[in-house]
Structure 1
Amino acid sequence: MTNPVKAVTFAEVMVGVDGKTDIDCSNKGLTSLEGCPEKVKGNFNCSGNKLTTLEGAPKNIKGDFNCSGNLLTTLEGGPEEVKGDYDCSNNELKTLDHCPVFVMGDFSCAGNQLKTLQGEISSSKGTKPERCLEIVDGDFNCSGNVLTTLEGSPKIVGGDYDCSNNQLTSLENCAVVVAGDFSCNRNQIISLDGAPRKVAGNFDCSNNKLSTLKGSPKKVDGDYNCSGNELTSLKGAPEEVKAFDCSNNHLTSLKRAPEKVKGNFDCSLNQMTSLKGIPEKIKGDFNCSGNHLTTLECGLKKVGGDFICANNDVLLTEEQVRSAYEIKGTFKS
């Protein structure tokens, strides 16, 4: 027979605390937020407790709200308005019902048990699923859940968007615009259809089950990582990226590779016999090691960084490489 958990309220532990400044009641063993001020002019941190409910939480918080690392299964009773970040990660949430519709800072629901980002809206006509979050001005992190769909996802994210480490097979219903980095790595995605149309930072779709890059945004302002998939072609790859990593796939050709690569280009650990299709200029390092290269014939003219070509079918010498291309960095074989 398990011993009952001793009730520990906010009022008992945080005696005399008002809401005129930040409130930090984290790691106090709280089981209840009973006794909290209704308004907090700064941040409110109740993380690392034993809360199973947010009943009693402040209704209006002018700073950040952090209820991570508790035992919450619902956000019911939580604040109605948060003007900073909202962190409900590492709980036992199965729904985002009762979360704010609009978050002015970052929003993290990572490390829960969410199967969907939708909530249920009740009316006289019954109950129907609806998007919980419309807009997130900062980062949106729903990684490490058990999501099989992105239905209910915010459509506009003002920072980074991270849906990695879920059970997604598709990016349908994803955000349309991501002003920061986009990461959907370590899922089971077979298609990039539905991916954001605009990504202002890095794009990471590595370690999925992609056989094609169709659906990718045409331009990614940061690095593009599609390594560790099942790609046999680069069709659909963006035209311009900062760095490009297509390593550890099943590629036999670099045709349809990005035309402009402003950083490193990594096509190692594939099945290529030639480098045809590679851009003319690579401003960073170039890594083609672990392939089946037997020739250097291709359109490449200049590499601004190192040239790495170890473990190919034919030993490529530094003299051969430097006579074929202009290499500014070191030769590694």
Structure 2
Amino acid sequence: MKKLKEGDFNLRRIDIFKLTIKKELQDKNNIKISTIINKLISRSDATKNSDGSYSFTEGIDLSNLGLTSFPIRFKDVKGSFYCDRNKLASLKGAPQTVAEDFDCSGNKLTSLKGAPQIVRRNFYCYGNNLISLKGIPQIVEGDFYYYNNIIQFTEEDIKVVCDVKGIIHR
């Protein structure tokens, strides 16, 4: 039988402390997500669609919340939709149409799969890890902001797959 040293006990105590803190952080994150969901679905402009997704007549701001995925599925947003500065690796659940701006900049996206197909104003996807234009909107009626990504596609590359009415910033 191995004899324990005083230092062994302290290390074990630290490991238990780390596990406790990790569990508390997970619980707080679950509370945070459930709070976000409750705030969203209880809004007076929220409509639950037959497919379980939600539509909103005003804008949605989910910026800088540490999200790794969307807390609910969105369908249509009549205002702007901000999900910038999170930890999103996918846009699954993002709205299909956005009446104003759509901002998914500063995430961990490698493609735009799940992005809205129609954005009535500006589309922001800079500062991600984009290596593909897969999922790019069909129509962006304002400007398209694409820079600080892994692959710097040309303006022509973007215009082949997306009808951008404004300026492409790359």
TM-score, scaled to structure 1 = 0.37
* Cα distance in structure 2, aligned partners of 1:320 and 1:299: 11
Change (3 A) 1:299 1:267: closer
**What is the one-letter code of the residue matched to 1:278?**
A
Alignment of 1:36-115 (within 5 A): none
- Matched residue of 1:219: which SS? strand
Contact 1:200–1:222 under 8 Å retained in 2:
yes
Deviations 1:256-312 (A, max 9, x none): 101221111000000000000112111110000000001112252111110001100
- 1:245 is the counterpart of 2:82: yes
Alignment of 1:304-323 (within 5 A): 304-323=141-160
- 1:230 is the counterpart of 2:73: no
- 1:292 is the counterpart of 2:137: no
Residue of structure 1 in register with 2:117 after alignment: 280
* Cα distance in structure 1, aligned partners of 2:157 and 2:111: 15
Residue of structure 2 in register with 1:58 after alignment: none
* Cα distance in structure 1, aligned partners of 2:99 and 2:133: 21
Contact 1:198–1:219 under 8 Å retained in 2:
no
Contact 2:136–2:161 under 8 Å retained in 1:
no
- Structure with greater helix share of residues: 2
TM-score, scaled to structure 2 = 0.71
Residue of structure 1 in register with 2:38 after alignment: 194
Greater relative contact order structure (CA < 8 Å, 6+ sep): 2
Q: Give 5+ residue unaligned stretches, structure 2.
A: 1-27, 47-52
Q: CA deviation at 1:235?
A: 4.3
Contact 1:303–1:326 under 8 Å retained in 2:
yes
**What is the one-letter code of the residue matched to 2:92?**
K
* Cα distance in structure 1, aligned partners of 2:96 and 2:62: 16
Residue of structure 2 in register with 1:208 after alignment: none
**What is the one-letter code of the residue matched to 1:302?**
I
Contact 1:290–1:310 under 8 Å retained in 2:
yes
Identity %: 34
Output the aligned Cα RMSD.
2.3
Residue of structure 1 in register with 2:55 after alignment: 219
Residue of structure 2 in register with 1:264 after alignment: 101
